[in-house]
Amino acid sequence: MERHEYHAFQDAFKNAVLTGEVETAFSASLLETSGVPVEQRLQIHFNNFRETLSNSLSGIFPALVAFVGDAFVKGALKEFCAAYPPEEASLSGYGERFSQFLSDHQVSEQLPYIADIVRLEWALHSLQQINELVYEIGDERDRYVVSNNVQFVKSTFPLMSLWSVATRQLPPEAVHLEQGGQTVVALLRDGEIALIGLDKAEAVLLEQVEDLGVINTESLNTEDKDILLMLQQKKILVKQL
pLDDT score of 54: 79
**Do 171 and 164 form a contact (C-beta atoms < 8 A)?**
no
The topology (CATH level 3) of 133-241 is: Outer Surface Protein A; domain 3 (3.90.930)
pTM over 0.85: no
Among left, alpha and beta (phi > 0; psi -120 to 50; other), residue 228 is alpha
- Domains of the chain by residue range: 1-129, 133-241
CB proximity list for 86: less than 8 A, separation 6 or greater: 53, 94
Task: Tell me the sheet residues that pair with 185.
Answer: 152, 196
Q: How confident is the model at residue 18 (pLDDT cuts 50, 70, 90)?
A: low
**Do 39 and 33 form a contact (C-beta atoms < 8 A)?**
no
**Cα 145 from chain centroid (whole Å):** 22
| Per-residue pLDDT reduced to its tens digit, 61-96 | 999 999 999 999 999 998 898 888 887 766 678 899
Distances (CA, A) of 214 to 145, 169, 202, 206, 232: 5, 36, 16, 10, 13
Task: Tell me the sheet residues that pair with 153.
Answer: 184
Helix (H/G/I), strand (E/B), else coil: 125: helix
More confident of the two residues 56 and 188: 188
> What span, in angstroms and rounded, lies between the C-alpha atoms of 54 and 46?
12
